[in-house]
Amino acid sequence: MTANRFLQRIQLSGYLLPAGLTGALWLKGLHPGLPGWSCPLRALTGVPCPTCYLTRATAASLTGNLDGALQLHAFGPVVAGALLAWSVFSIRQRRLLPRGIPAWPLGSFAVGLLAYWLMRIVVNIGDMAAPAWLHFPLLS
């Protein structure tokens, strides 16, 4: 099977993937003891990456714990909403990547995520007084 044909099959049959991912994160929010992956950048360098704590924040958002989600990562509720929308559009159109969704929100999200990460790094390295959503939780 060629790579192009494989990608076409995934595009046509993988439309349940977003809903499966959303469901897995919802379960992770209900049962935090479920296994997961740790951040490889943080494990190697000790520096949290831009998405550190985002999985936990998204899982908390999907279970309705917005306060806890915002303490972990400010983008958690945004990602949870995007996952829910992606799931609905994918199921309705029966496509992994739905048609009609503009690409600019992804670029804006990436720029915002990097800016948020840099603010968190500056606040935590400088040991500055700042709102809780700018501090990295659980750093040891």
The dihedral over CA atoms of 122, 125, 126, 131, expressed in degrees to the nearest 10, equals 60
Question: Helices 76-93 and 54-62 sit at what angle, rounded to 10 degrees?
Answer: 70
* Rounded Cα distance, 139 and 127, in Å: 13
Per-residue pLDDT of 92-133, as tens digits, reads 988 888 888 888 988 999 999 999 999 998 888 887 788 877
Picking from 27, 7, 24, 14, the residue whose alpha carbon sits closest to that of residue 91 is 14
For residue 133, what are its two tokens?
């959503």
* Rounded Cα distance, 16 and 96, in Å: 7
The answer to whether residue 138 scores a pLDDT higher than 70 is: no
Per-residue pLDDT of 24-43, as tens digits, reads 999 999 998 888 778 888 88
The answer to whether residue 1 scores a pLDDT higher than 70 is: no
Confidence of residue 74 (pLDDT cuts 50, 70, 90): very high
Q: Residue 11, Cβ neighbours under 10 Å: how many? A: 13
Share of the chain above pLDDT 90, in %: 42
- Asked if residues 19 and 97 have their Cβ atoms less than 8 Å apart, the reply is no
Q: What is the mean pLDDT of residues 52-64?
A: 94
pTM: 0.82
